[in-house]
């Protein structure tokens, strides 16, 4: 299975680092991609060089003034550390594409949306195609769940609904009444129960958080599977094959 380069979010990417094919330097294209992040309202991760990160939403892009602004999650504990960082790496997703760019000169401002972070407009960004892997949505009669501990509150046990799954990743539904997850966090000891015959033990790394329609009551967590093991991968492939066949039969009825 082919994979695209996955740079570490806390490391700035420089010319000659093997990522030049993914570099976007045209100002018009940069502006289009940033505007789409604003329009879709997806969550992005702001990552400091020391590994600390916060979750935000790109709120405003002003190419003329050379600034971008982010709205913040309330009571963000890492906010002061982020403002003090010389350079912050922003990571977000648009459908199947990962966007990454640097922002510096961050300052706290008060806006019509409350507290916000304003920083420098990126002169370039990186556009990475997501790993190609066929994903299936579970059939409606099944109710697959992922059982795990909340990564920020270890005493909190969760059973999150599985929205879709592939051999290398899955999407989970996080209700609004559950404390948010931070993109980039690694969740160990996750058990994914897809059906009575398919249980997969794996680690999950949260790649991105995506807003759903307002009526959904939650957000989509896009996760990469880590250390699944050969047995788990085979079980996933069997489940994917069987789900495809059953869906095809249902469509024929």
187 with 157: CB under 8 angstroms? Answer: no
Rounded-to-integer distance, Cα 71 and Cα 113, Å: 7
| 21: phi then psi, degrees, rounded to nearest 5 | -65, -20
- Torsion sign (Cα): 146, 147, 150, 151: negative
Q: What is the pLDDT of residues 179-209, one digit of tens each?
A: 999 888 999 999 999 988 889 999 999 988 8
Average pLDDT over residues 152-174: 92
Q: pLDDT grade, residue 93 (50/70/90)? A: confident
The torsion angles phi and psi of 243, rounded to 5 degrees, stand at -65, -40
In this predicted structure, the answer to whether residue 16 has a pLDDT above a threshold of 70 is: no
Say how many C-beta atoms besides its own lie within 10 A of residue 191's C-beta.
Answer: 13
Can you tell me whether residue 186 is helix, strand or coil?
A: strand
What residues pair up with 72 in beta bridges, in sequence order?
A: 56
pLDDT of residue 204: 95
Domains along the sequence of the chain with CATH:
20-129 (2.30.110.10), 145-252 (2.40.10.220)
Q: Give this prediction's pTM.
A: 0.53
Provide the pLDDT for residue 131: 44
Backbone angles phi, psi at 151, to 5 degrees: -65, -25
pLDDT at 247: 67
The residue to which tokens 């790649």 are assigned:
207
| DSSP class of 226 | E
The edge-to-edge listing of strands for the beta sheet with 67-72 is 23-24, 125-129, 97-104, 87-94, 43-47, 53-62, 67-72, 114-120, 107-111
> Based on the number of CB atoms within 10 Å of its own CB, is 180 exposed (0-12), middle (13-18) or buried (19 or more)?
middle
If pLDDT is split at 50, 70 and 90, which confidence band does 245 have? Answer: confident
- What residues contact 77, with CB distance under 8 A and at least 6 apart? none
Distance CA 20, CA 27 (A): 16
Which pLDDT score, from 0 to 100, does residue 166 have?
84
């Amino acid at each position: 299975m082919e994979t695209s380069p996955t740079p570490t979010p806390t490391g700035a990417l420089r010319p000659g680092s093997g990522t030049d094919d993914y570099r976007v330097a045209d100002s018009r294209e940069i502006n289009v991609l940033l505007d789409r992040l604003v329009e879709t309202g997806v969550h992005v991760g702001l990552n400091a060089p020391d590994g600390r990160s916060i979750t935000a939403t790109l709120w405003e892009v002003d190419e003329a003034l050379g600034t971008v602004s982010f709205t913040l999650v309330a009571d963000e504990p890492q906010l002061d550390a982020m403002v003090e960082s010389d350079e912050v790496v922003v990571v977000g997703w648009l459908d199947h594409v990962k966007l990454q760019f640097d922002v510096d000169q961050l300052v706290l401002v008060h806006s019509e949306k409350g507290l916000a972070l304003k920083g420098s407009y990126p002169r370039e960004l990186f556009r990475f195609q997501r790993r190609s892997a066929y994903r299936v949505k579970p059939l409606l009669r099944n109710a697959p769940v992922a059982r795990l501990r909340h990564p920020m509150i270890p005493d909190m046990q969760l059973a999150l609904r599985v929205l879709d799954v592939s051999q290398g990743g899955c999407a989970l539904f996080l209700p609004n009444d559950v404390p948010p997850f931070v993109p980039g966090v690694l969740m160990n000891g996750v058990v994914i129960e897809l059906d009575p015959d398919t249980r997969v033990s794996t680690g999950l790394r949260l790649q991105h958080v995506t807003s759903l329609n307002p009526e959904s009551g939650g957000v989509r967590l896009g996760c990469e599977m880590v250390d699944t093991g050969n047995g788990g991968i085979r079980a996933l492939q069997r489940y994917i094959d069987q789900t495809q066949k059953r869906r095809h039969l249902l469509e024929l009825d």
